[in-house]
Chains A and B, each alone.
Chain A
Amino acid sequence: MNKDSQMRAAINQKLIEMGERERLKELLRAKLVECGWKDQMKAQCKDVIREKGLEHVTVEDLVVEITPKGRALVPDSVKKELLQRIRAFLAQHSTL
């Protein structure tokens, strides 16, 4: 593992330990519902299901099709806010 992913892993560990990861997840969830992202994704999923057919579609089909669109459609303001939160958390727990 290179230095970058080592750092990532360490930060992730800290976030999990302090329960911050769960809080961030909930915050993100709320923000993505508020801005309509969840509804957009739901509509995309329905399209994929219609395309592949209800009987044959798997979760993996959905993940493969939806993930790039989902990532692209997250509003910049939400990304900014989450980043700010993470930075603030890291500043507070500066032993990292």
Chain B
Amino acid sequence: TKYIVPAGCPHVNGFKVDNWKQNLRVIYQCFVWSGSVESRKRKAKSCICHLCGAHLNRLHSCLYCVFFGCFTKKHIHEHAKNKRHNLAIDLLYGGIYCFVCQDYIYDKDMEQIAKEEQRKTLRSALVDCFVSCGLCDAGVGEKYSTWEPTKRELELLRHNPKRRRITTNCTIGLRGLINLGNTCFMNCIVQALTHTPLLRDFFLSDRHKCEMQSNSCLVCEMSQLFQEFYSGHRSPHIPFRLLHLVWTHARHLAGYEQQDAHEFLIAALDVLHRHCKDDNGKKANNPNNCSCIIDQIFTGGLQSDVTCQVCHGVSTTIDPFWDISLDLPGSSTPFWPLSPGGDGSTLNGESHLSGATTLTDCLRRFTRPEHLGSSAKIKCSGCHSYQESTKQLTMKKLPIVACFHLKRFEHSAKLRRKITTYVSFPLELDMTPFMASSKESRMNGQYQQSVDVFNNDNKYSLFAVVNHQGTLESGHYTTFIRQHKDQWFKCDDAIITKASIKDVLDSEGYLLFYHKQFLEYE
């Protein structure tokens, strides 16, 4: 492959004399990237073509004198020819044009100045933006710059010449897992985790730096697992080391009996979280202030509001969560009605077809105001006595990956059974109605959600579904995972087969994994 290095040209030498650096900075500050109010006013007034007065047409400024001219109408070209001023700057993007070379040139020193000036402007613009702009959903922060390899990375690339090309139908990342004796409860979760995009990116870019002395770091094992999955090997992987580590760190899951996949998910996240370091290099043992990759991806905030029925004072707590466990119709606790006065309006494009329960129904029930009866009075700090109250749960902070656990296994004192009620779930989910911020309108009985075109922050896409077939005593777990945008595969231990979207959406559903559609840089 040939590499083209952005180059300067010899014609800039005439410009690079005396105080040229400062002059160039001034041009950038005043006319290209105006940061302050006065410079913006100046830019607004003066940035018009000196020949025709237009402000569009790719305005350029001469670098040798005060002249602005259209590029499209060739007014700047005229000036360059007449005055023999051979350099101009594009006022939109800051590029330097050389009329001798007849192209934009990339001089190292000038590029450096441009970058610095742009960074300065962005910092001050950030403050302005937050102050005056309510609707802005484009984060104005550090400018995105394309990746350029470091010397070390170039070395690595040269020493490892094998390249893998990701096409739309390649199966990289898909690999079966051997069942080591009722270990499908572990396999199904591993499939979901290895296909969680952010987690995959974290491990494939080598972001885990291990500080554990022993060989029992689960995060390292996870990293190894990703290497196996993305190696291109098509034979099923045998996860014996993973199983051994799980037995070591989560004793309650040890043994060859069938375990609950949901329990395994929570235990795995817990051990990974404990073995991760947070960004400050400290061990992740503060559950409220950790920024390890597990917390960054999976941790959300659940708000609980307890309202006193007498004084209407509200007591609020926020707890972290990794998953949302949802009750289903058919369990011993009554499901319907969702809440007093609730109607069957459509949400998330689902409607009540022949009484099929939807995920949205379950979420509405989860976030409904619940009357805590007279036997469960709360001590109200406003009334200074025990009063009846209502409790309501809502989402305060949504995680990047939201996991919904449909409570299909009932373990009450009287019975142990599996609830096989069909629950329909969507490919795309909008969590806005269940947010703490939407609670106001909900309490007024408004279930219709006005579509906010500008707010994409609560939209999620389904990417993995764990299913359980069989009974409580003897059952089997499988996972549907999403590869690329619209391709789904069924992972049944060692066997991977192509699946249709219909297969996925018609399945019973036990654990549903959703990923945020749009991510903002923090």
Would A58 and B41 be within 8 Å (CB), given that A23-B136, A26-B140 are in contact? Answer: no
A30 touches which of B103, B129, B137 (Cβ 8 Å): B137
B518 touches which of A14, A22, A34 (Cβ 8 Å): A34
B87 CB to nearest chain A CB (Å): 15
Residues on A with beta carbons closer than 8 Å to the beta carbon of B138: 23, 26-27, 29-31
A60 touches which of B2, B103, B135 (Cβ 8 Å): B103
B48 and A16 contact, CB distance less than 8 A? no
Residues on B with beta carbons closer than 8 Å to the beta carbon of A69: none
B44 and A1 contact, CB distance less than 8 A? no
B44 CB to nearest chain A CB (Å): 4
B40 and A19 contact, CB distance less than 8 A? yes
B125 touches which of A8, A9, A22, A58 (Cβ 8 Å): A22
CA A35 – CA B226 in complex, angstroms? Answer: 30
> A51 within 8 Å of B by Cβ?
no
CA A29 – CA B138 in complex, angstroms? Answer: 8
A13 and B53 contact, CB distance less than 8 A? no
Residues on B with beta carbons closer than 8 Å to the beta carbon of A12: 44, 55
CA A18 – CA B140 in complex, angstroms? Answer: 16
A17 and B44 contact, CB distance less than 8 A? yes
B450 CB to nearest chain A CB (Å): 15
CA A58 – CA B104 in complex, angstroms? Answer: 8
> B45 within 8 Å of A by Cβ?
yes
Residues on B with beta carbons closer than 8 Å to the beta carbon of A22: 125, 140
A61 CB to nearest chain B CB (Å): 9
CA A60 – CA B90 in complex, angstroms? Answer: 13
Residues on B with beta carbons closer than 8 Å to the beta carbon of A9: 48, 53, 55
Give the residue name and chain of the A residue nearest to B131 (CB): A19
B102 and A58 contact, CB distance less than 8 A? yes
Give the residue name and chain of the B residue nearest to A33 (CB): B144
CA A59 – CA B71 in complex, angstroms? Answer: 13
> A39 within 8 Å of B by Cβ?
no
B45 touches which of A5, A13, A29 (Cβ 8 Å): A13
> A85 within 8 Å of B by Cβ?
yes
B333 CB to nearest chain A CB (Å): 42
B129 touches which of A16, A17, A23, A85 (Cβ 8 Å): A23
B44 and A54 contact, CB distance less than 8 A? no
Residues on B with beta carbons closer than 8 Å to the beta carbon of A34: 518
A54 and B40 contact, CB distance less than 8 A? no
Contact with B along A37-49 (1 / 0, CB 8 A): 0000000000000
B209 CB to nearest chain A CB (Å): 31
CA A16 – CA B34 in complex, angstroms? Answer: 9
CA A1 – CA B56 in complex, angstroms? Answer: 13
Residues on B with beta carbons closer than 8 Å to the beta carbon of A23: 129, 133, 136, 138, 140
CA A22 – CA B40 in complex, angstroms? Answer: 10
Give the residue name and chain of the A residue nearest to B95 (CB): A59
Give the residue name and chain of the B residue nearest to A13 (CB): B44
Residues on B with beta carbons closer than 8 Å to the beta carbon of A81: 453-454
B104 and A17 contact, CB distance less than 8 A? no
CA A19 – CA B2 in complex, angstroms? Answer: 42
> B443 within 8 Å of A by Cβ?
no
B40 and A17 contact, CB distance less than 8 A? yes
> B4 within 8 Å of A by Cβ?
yes
Contact with A along B457-498 (1 / 0, CB 8 A): 000000000000000000000000000000000000000000
Residues on A with beta carbons closer than 8 Å to the beta carbon of B103: 58-60
A19 touches which of B45, B132, B453, B454 (Cβ 8 Å): B132
Residues on A with beta carbons closer than 8 Å to the beta carbon of B129: 19, 23
B43 and A16 contact, CB distance less than 8 A? yes
CA A13 – CA B46 in complex, angstroms? Answer: 10
Residues on A with beta carbons closer than 8 Å to the beta carbon of B137: 27, 30
> B128 within 8 Å of A by Cβ?
yes
CA A19 – CA B131 in complex, angstroms? Answer: 12
> B54 within 8 Å of A by Cβ?
yes
Since A9-B48, A12-B55, A13-B44 are in contact, a sample of 19 more A-B pairs with Cβ atoms closer than 8 Å, ordered by chain A residue number, is A9-B55, A16-B34, A16-B43, A16-B47, A17-B40, A17-B44, A19-B132, A22-B125, A23-B140, A27-B137, A30-B137, A30-B138, A31-B138, A34-B518, A54-B2, A58-B103, A60-B103, A81-B453, A85-B135
Q: Jot down 12 A-B pairs with beta carbons below 8 A, ordered by A.
A: A12-B55, A16-B43, A17-B40, A19-B129, A23-B140, A26-B140, A27-B138, A30-B137, A54-B4, A59-B95, A59-B103, A60-B103
Give the 8 A-B residue pairs with the shortest CB-CB distance, closest first: A16-B44, A30-B138, A13-B44, A58-B103, A26-B138, A27-B138, A59-B104, A17-B44
